[in-house]
Amino acid sequence: MATIYEIAQEVGVSPSTVARALRGTGYCSKEKYDKIIAVAKRLNYAPSHAARSLKSKRTNKILFLIPDIYNPFYFGMIKGASDVLDQNGYYTILCHTRGDKGMEKKMLRSLKEGYGDGMIFVSFDFNKENIDAVNACALPVVLTNNYQSLSGNDHFDCVYIDTFEGIYMACKYFISQGFRKIGYIGGDTTVQTGRERFAGFLKAMNEGNVPVNQNFLKEGDFSRDSGEKSMEEMISARSVPEALVVANDLMAIGALKACKKHGLHIPQDVAIIGMDNTDLATCTVPELSSINMKEEDIGRYAAELLMERILKGRKEKRTIRLQPELFLRGSSRREA
């Protein structure tokens, strides 16, 4: 690949003149400009991104960490972020962490080492260890869960959907329809996402004076297989709830599959509400009721917050909270 030095030698000008012509900035006579452009095209010249990055101290890259590349929920988030980043001359490097804390810390080190100008960090669990790593990297990071350090000295932003409120909303709907035997399939309650969603379920049950039956509670890992396995366990134990709140659409679809396999009718035998409101929710029979998690908005706001930090130099922390919405479809009994 040709360099500006080779172009300069062939045209008979200085490398700085070539650089000005190729950038389109500074003075360069029309005659020299035309010769430089012609030689650059003939030699198939392409500007060095590494050289530009060294000079500008920017890579024009954003690292985008997601825990599950198979979950369509993140597709919308990536689209929302990419729409904003594209407009600002940035593009994303997608990093699949599988929810592994070691991989998340490795990606934070990569950010600190200059592989990107900022990061959108999606995780099931933001704990003190990885929050300390985020603050230590000293580059713009946006979390897609809510986290506020006690010190108040955070160097990151947050944009999140209130998943506690989403599960609470789904459970309250079932209670309003007169259901008393209500089950829940959620994620690992030792991590932030699983803990917050289960807390929403418990709050709704307690407020509605509905007893919590431990036989109706199952823990999955947000995959379709874990939702199917959880439902299979309830069916095998003959402990099937009348209504089921599920912490994401993939697990809800797995539960639907298990019900159909055993001849249970939805919603007549088991009414189900999932969470995420992905496109998959409208591909089931019956269509899946779900909590809309506004994933495109999350991605868009996250990218906008990063651009404010990178391009405008904002220093103070910002937190954006989005409100979930319940979309009722055939898998749950609607109000009369």
Measured distance CA(122)–CA(225) in Å, rounded: 22
- Looking at residue 54, its pLDDT comes to 45
Amino acid at 148: Q
Residue 27, classified by CB atoms within 10 Å of its CB into exposed (0-12), middle (13-18) or buried (19+), is: exposed
Non-local CB neighbours of 290 within 8 Å, separated by 6+ positions: 249, 252, 273, 274, 275, 276, 277, 278, 281, 327, 329
Measured distance CA(133)–CA(50) in Å, rounded: 26
Q: CA angle at residue 213 from 209 to 218, to 5 degrees?
A: 125
Q: Closest Cα to residue 249, out of 121, 72, 98, 97?
A: 72
Q: Closest Cα to residue 184, out of 198, 163, 204?
A: 198
DSSP codes of every residue in 73-103: HHHHHHHHHHHHHHHTT-EEEEEE-TT-HHH
Amino acid at 7: I
- Looking at residue 160, its pLDDT comes to 96
Q: Give the number of C-alpha atoms closer than 13 A to the C-alpha of residue 92, restricted to the C-beta side.
A: 27
Q: Alpha helix locations (H) across 177-312?
A: 192-207, 224-236, 249-261, 295-312
Q: Closest Cα to residue 65, out of 329, 282, 302?
A: 302
Non-local CB neighbours of 246 within 8 Å, separated by 6+ positions: 184, 185, 186, 227, 252, 255, 272, 273, 274, 275
All domains of the chain, ordered by start, with CATH?
4-47 (1.10.260.40), 59-161+295-323 (3.40.50.2300), 163-293 (3.40.50.2300)
Report yes or no: 325 and 283 within 8 Å, Cβ to Cβ: no
Non-local CB neighbours of 307 within 8 Å, separated by 6+ positions: 84, 85, 88, 90
Query: Tens place of pLDDT for every residue, the chain, 336 residues?
Result: 678 888 888 889 988 888 888 877 778 888 888 888 898 888 887 765 545 544 546 789 999 999 999 899 999 999 999 999 999 999 899 999 998 999 999 999 999 888 899 999 999 988 888 898 998 888 999 999 999 988 778 889 999 999 999 999 999 999 999 999 999 999 999 999 999 999 999 999 999 999 999 999 999 999 999 999 999 999 999 999 999 999 999 999 999 999 999 999 999 999 999 999 999 999 999 999 999 999 999 999 999 999 999 999 999 999 999 999 999 999 997 554
Report yes or no: 305 and 142 within 8 Å, Cβ to Cβ: yes
The pairing of beta strand 289-292 with beta strand 325-327:
antiparallel
Measured distance CA(100)–CA(106) in Å, rounded: 10
Strand ranges (E), 105-234: 118-121, 141-143, 157-161, 182-186, 217-219
